[in-house]
Amino acid sequence: MDSKHAPSPVTADRLMRLLALTLIVSVMNATMFNVALPRISLEFSLSPSKASWVITAYIVVYAIGTVTYGKLADRYSLRNLLTFGLPMLAFGSLIGLMAGAFWMLVLARVLQAMGASVVTAASMLIPVRYYPLAARGRALGMTATGIALGTAAGPIISGIVTSVASWRLLFLLPLLALIALPFFRRELDGAAGTKRPTDVWGGLLLGGSIAALLLALTNSSLMLLAAGLLLTALFGLRIRFAREPFIQLALLGNTRFSFALLITGLSSCAVFGIPFLVPLLLGNVNGLSPLHTGLAMLPAAVLSALLGRRGGTLADKYGIGVLFYTAALLFASGFVLLSWTAGSSPGLIACFLIFGSVGQTFTQIALSHTLSGTLTAEQTGVGMGLYSLVSFIAGAASTALIGRTLDFGASGRWLNPLHGGGAGLVYSNLFLALAALVSLTAILYAVFAAMSRRASRRAGAESPAG
């Protein structure tokens, strides 16, 4: 815990509860419009690809915003960043509420993402800055609870609102985040970070590369992929030769941090698989409406929220490794069970989804806890921003690959001998592949743990006490 940010435990817990409530609104804002896309397409006479810009524009700006706010948090106080971000979220929501043309709707989503991404950055930084390592799991469990509740409530509220009223009313909900602003300003300190200059060109190159790569994934464009790789190469040159680079070379040279980012990326491919694949299975194969799909996924999300804090406490009491391996076991078991039942009773799918959903929540707590432990106080802002960024890019790659696989349909053989084939075949194979991916991350985490033990022994041998 940084000595600059050392409130009393009561103040820190109060701050985390406030952050969890704000996260519910932020996450709901990210997920609600998926359900509303058919109504938006109909009103503005849009093709599916054009309508998807409501989602794509938000994801791209949100991903850039998380790492940018993380970097800015090394220089400016979180209180001031939230004072900028939350009103920006509200401003974008007001534009969306009055949008009479599609370009206004896309602009509204861009402004919303510019504001909402500060909440994600804060959810990574406040547990790291305000809690010691031994108590950090409980704090991260609170953020996981907010994320799980927002994920559960978003599709359900969107389904109800779009069924009985206008999709524009969805823009009213993010305005609630403004209520939290005076409380954040009261609880957060105003201490600024270092006064080093901000590498604007480095930030622009990083933002451009993120945008190009995410758009390449969502639009299957080789030209955008080439542009993204070129901008990434230029960014690499920039941080190598700039006096004060956007990302310090020492951070990227941190082997444990880089290896933890690799595990994060692979895990995120599986984490994003559940909210993308399960609704498609329930809608396309089981024939459920968006509202009933949300209700089927509700028990898993609620249990994940209830157990999120318990998972964080487990990490504090028994170690992060115990939580991660527990998460991997639940996560992989959930995918195997979903592979077995894909296309069968929605009730069975809803029950087995609980294993995967709780495993997903525990995985996110364990990885953010693990990665924060590899960073110095000066590196937490941009380091945790990179954690969020890698999660977004890996998730986008995963959903794009899953979508392409679904496009090929159910032709071919099934990989799970317990599944009988039929309409759910391709989903069964995908769930089994995700279970294998989770198993791989568990193996890599064991390698990471061995690396950490060796580093600790070397540090002990080199210390004067050693």
The structural domain count of the chain equals 2
C-alpha 404/C-alpha 392 separation (Å) is 18
- CB within 8 Å of 457: residues ≥ 6 apart: none
Residue 465: per-residue pLDDT: 44
Task: Specify whether 26 is located in the same domain as 161.
Answer: yes
Contacts of 316-324 with CB under 8 Å at 24 or more apart are: 316/134, 316/135, 316/136, 316/137, 316/138, 320/137, 320/366, 320/369, 320/370, 320/373, 321/445, 321/449, 323/137, 323/362, 323/365, 323/366, 323/369, 324/362, 324/363, 324/366, 324/367, 324/370, 324/442, 324/445
Phi and psi dihedrals of 76, rounded to 5? -110, 160
pLDDT averaged per 10 residues in sequence order, the chain, 466 residues:
56 86 88 80 79 81 86 86 95 93 92 92 86 82 83 81 86 92 86 69 87 80 90 90 82 87 91 82 82 84 85 86 94 91 86 92 89 81 84 81 72 57 77 94 94 76 49
Q: Does residue 243 sit within a domain?
A: no
Q: Does residue 241 sit within a domain?
A: no
Q: Does residue 393 sit within a domain?
A: yes
Task: Specify whether 161 is located in the same domain as 294.
Answer: no
CB 323 within 8 A of CB 311: yes
Q: Which residues of 216-246 are buried (b: 16+ CB within 10 A; e: fewer)?
A: bbbeeeeebbebbeebbeebeebbeeeeebb
Residue 440: per-residue pLDDT: 96
Residue that is last in its domain, among 198, 217, 241: 198
CB 215 within 8 A of CB 182: no
Q: Does residue 245 sit within a domain?
A: no
CB 179 within 8 A of CB 188: no
C-alpha 104/C-alpha 340 separation (Å) is 45
User: Burial, 105: exposed, middle or buried (Cβ in 10 Å; 0-12, 13-18, 19+)?
Assistant: buried
Task: Specify whether 194 is located in the same domain as 264.
Answer: no
Q: Does residue 369 sit within a domain?
A: yes
Residue 7: per-residue pLDDT: 58
Task: Specify whether 193 is located in the same domain as 275.
Answer: no
- CB within 8 Å of 375: residues ≥ 6 apart: 128, 251, 254, 257, 383, 384
Q: Does residue 232 sit within a domain?
A: no
Q: For residue 243, what is the DSSP state?
A: S
C-alpha 378/C-alpha 241 separation (Å) is 20
Domain membership of residue 297 as a residue range: 254-452
Task: Specify whether 192 is located in the same domain as 291.
Answer: no
Which of 184, 4, 179, 207 shows the shortest CA–CA distance to 78? Answer: 184
Find the angle CA(96)-CA(99)-CA(101) to the nearest 5 degrees. 135
Task: Specify whether 189 is located in the same domain as 328.
Answer: no
CB 325 within 8 A of CB 343: no
Residue 30 tokens, joined: 């990210």
Q: Does residue 220 sit within a domain?
A: no
What is the domain-level CATH number for residue 120?
1.20.1250.20
